[in-house]
Amino acid sequence: MVKSAYKLLSSLQRDTRSCEPSTAQEQKKMLSGLWKLQILNKVKIFAWRACQNGLPIKSNLKKRQVALEDNCVFCGTEEEDIIHAIYQCRTIRQCWIDLGLGLQLEARYIDFVEFVTIAQKNGSKEEVEKFLVIAWGFWYRSNKKMFDDSEVHPIAAVHQTLALWSDLKQLKGIGKKSNGRWIAPLVGSL
Distance in angstroms (rounded) separating the CA atoms of residues 165 and 28: 25
User: What contacts 157, CB < 8 A, 6 or more positions away?
Assistant: 137, 138, 140, 141
Mean pLDDT of 158-184: 75
pLDDT confidence band for 6 (50 / 70 / 90)? low
How far, rounded to the nearest angstrom, does the alpha carbon of residue 47 sit from its chain's CA centroid?
3
- What is the pLDDT at residue 69? 87
Residue 181: pLDDT over 50: yes
Residue 1: pLDDT over 80: no
Residue 4: pLDDT over 70: no
pLDDT confidence band for 171 (50 / 70 / 90)? confident
Query: Tell me: the pLDDT tens digits for 7-50?
Result: 544 554 444 333 333 477 777 777 888 888 989 999 999 999 99
Task: Give Cα separations from 128 to 34, 48, 120, 140, 143 (angstroms).
Answer: 9, 14, 6, 18, 22
0.85 exceeded by pTM: no
CA angle (39, 44, 133) in 5-degree steps: 55
Provide the phi-psi class of 179: left if phi over 0, else alpha when psi is between -120 and 50, else beta: left
Residue 176: pLDDT over 80: no
- What is the pLDDT at residue 27? 75
Query: Tell me: the pLDDT tens digits for 88-143?
Result: 888 888 888 888 765 566 656 567 888 788 778 878 888 889 989 999 999 999 88
- What is the pLDDT at residue 15? 40
DSSP summary character for residue 178: E
- What is the pLDDT at residue 104? 60
